[in-house]
Structure 1
């Protein structure tokens, strides 16, 4: 079996920045263990698998199946690998449709082109305030003694969000695993307010850690921004925001809360590698 495979840097217009995802074009569904083995082999935060629907090809079809796998397990929602998947369809396969629809574990996700960006129609996941004292050991492992302004949790994405009053150093991922006593956390967002009056005008900054998925730090996490957007929109009283995830690679996301309760996430992508996976 030969599978077309691509590496795409998402949420950036510069190669080797943003978040790299491996994208595989699948003619027919594979066994789950094979999906997982391929993702482990690629060893990126996410490997995405696009499958055809209704016998259409990747250039003319408007609807596709999409699954995401970390090196450790399948995940229910992934932003950067969805952006990267759409980039392969639009930029390489020259898909003729104005919008492509992905059937996923999180429902239908739509992606369209707008100038040099791709705009994803995603769910909006608003987090709920949490009692800091109930998870003090975990918070200590993440941010040390830095002052914490808010702690929120999103049960839909299993993400814990920590808003700091100041910047923080990178936590040790192994410490996060040891100090999660709830069993309900799959990722941690650390965020601070930006300075929108200073160029380039980011409304907030973040970092994202998901050792539970086998990803120590995710360079740019689109799904985490479904939570961050819900939080910061209320705090800043804004529906349109510009966000920056300040990992070592870094990435920029444009966010817009829609009147129908969903979220548009916009970003750019660079395809840096294409080849054939032989199994």
Structure 2
């Protein structure tokens, strides 16, 4: 039986914006090698593969096991492919808006699908428990050298840290929007460092307003130069910003990503007081 491979974009209602993901709603019988092959053939930063959930995870038809593959390797969690998958399920399996739950390698991820007034769908995921880690001076220097960023171009208000909310991301603050826009890096050198540190992306951030940020995510370990809209990194950044006191404990942040690549997307990051988990949501659309 042929495998049906869907294509959806996440964090944009326009198929030409946001981050494209492959979605395989029925991956029964597919081995890891075939999943990786499909992801490589598609060439998107990630493709999601769904199978039956662990026993007792959730309501039938609304709970699934999900695995995520980049063109080069499996990743523990992918935010944009989660949003794309949730919207695909609501459309294709007629589950409609409502609550879903995904079993991922990073942990259990609840997802809520809602409909806008115009009928468009949005999906919001709730991250696993986040945390921050320090990065050594030598590793930071190597990251800056690979990016060709002078240390003076960093925003001192954003201390470099490794942030986790399902996957590990190195967060670096850009002092200016121009610094963020000028991204030309040593692919092999940054990939080698990221593999050694087990990083999924580097989250490059510039603050435009108290609750508005522009972000970019180099993703050489996935086989692509840059990820257009990165939900897992957005969740990690939300935890980072809250823990460092850069935003209130309860806030909704807007992240703009992909404009410098010609694929603009908008990610909403919600922080709730008393809940350390981070919610990341956005629109989505099928790519025909």
**What's the TM-score once normalised by structure 1's chain length?**
0.86
Change (3 A) 1:26 1:159: same
After TM superposition, where is structure 1 displaced by more than 6 Å over at least 4 residues in a row? Answer: none
Q: 1:254 and 1:25 mapped to 2: Cα distance?
A: 25
Q: 1:99 and 1:176 mapped to 2: Cα distance?
A: 38
Q: The residue matched to 2:13 in structure 1 has which SS?
A: coil
Change (3 A) 1:140 1:266: same
Q: The residue matched to 2:287 in structure 1 has which SS?
A: strand
Given that 1:10 and 1:83 are in contact with CA atoms closer than 8 Å, whether structure 2 keeps it comes out as: yes
Change (3 A) 1:51 1:165: same
Aligned equivalent of 2:173, options 138, 163, 166: 163
Change (3 A) 1:231 1:65: same
Q: 2:193 and 2:113 mapped to 1: Cα distance?
A: 42
Alignment of 1:191-210 (within 5 A): 191-196=205-210, 203-210=212-219
Alignment of 1:53-92 (within 5 A): 53=53, 61-92=61-92
> How far is the alpha carbon of 1:154 from its aligned partner?
2.8
Q: The residue matched to 1:127 in structure 2 has which SS?
A: strand
> How far is the alpha carbon of 1:226 from its aligned partner?
1.6
Aligned equivalent of 1:235, options 240, 246, 249: 246
Given that 2:108 and 2:128 are in contact with CA atoms closer than 8 Å, whether structure 1 keeps it comes out as: no
Unaligned runs of 5+ in 2: 117-121
Structure 2 residue 190 is the aligned partner of structure 1 residue 176: yes
Deviates more, 1:32-41 or 1:255-264: 255-264
More strand by share: 1
Aligned equivalent of 1:141, options 132, 146, 153: 146
Given that 1:61 and 1:97 are in contact with CA atoms closer than 8 Å, whether structure 2 keeps it comes out as: no
**Deviations for 1:129-175, whole angstroms, at most 9, x for unmatched residues?**
43545531321221522521221113662321111211321132234
Q: 1:182 and 1:4 mapped to 2: Cα distance?
A: 35
Given that 1:83 and 1:120 are in contact with CA atoms closer than 8 Å, whether structure 2 keeps it comes out as: yes
Aligned equivalent of 2:269, options 237, 245, 255: 255
Q: 2:194 and 2:94 mapped to 1: Cα distance?
A: 45
Q: The residue matched to 2:173 in structure 1 has which SS?
A: strand
Q: 2:275 and 2:194 mapped to 1: Cα distance?
A: 35
Structure 2 residue 235 is the aligned partner of structure 1 residue 226: yes
> How far is the alpha carbon of 1:68 from its aligned partner?
0.5
Q: The residue matched to 2:3 in structure 1 has which SS?
A: strand
Change (3 A) 1:34 1:171: same
Deviates more, 1:111-120 or 1:123-132: 123-132
Given that 2:195 and 2:221 are in contact with CA atoms closer than 8 Å, whether structure 1 keeps it comes out as: no
Unaligned runs of 5+ in 1: 197-201, 274-279
Given that 1:205 and 1:245 are in contact with CA atoms closer than 8 Å, whether structure 2 keeps it comes out as: yes
Q: The residue matched to 1:14 in structure 2 has which SS?
A: coil
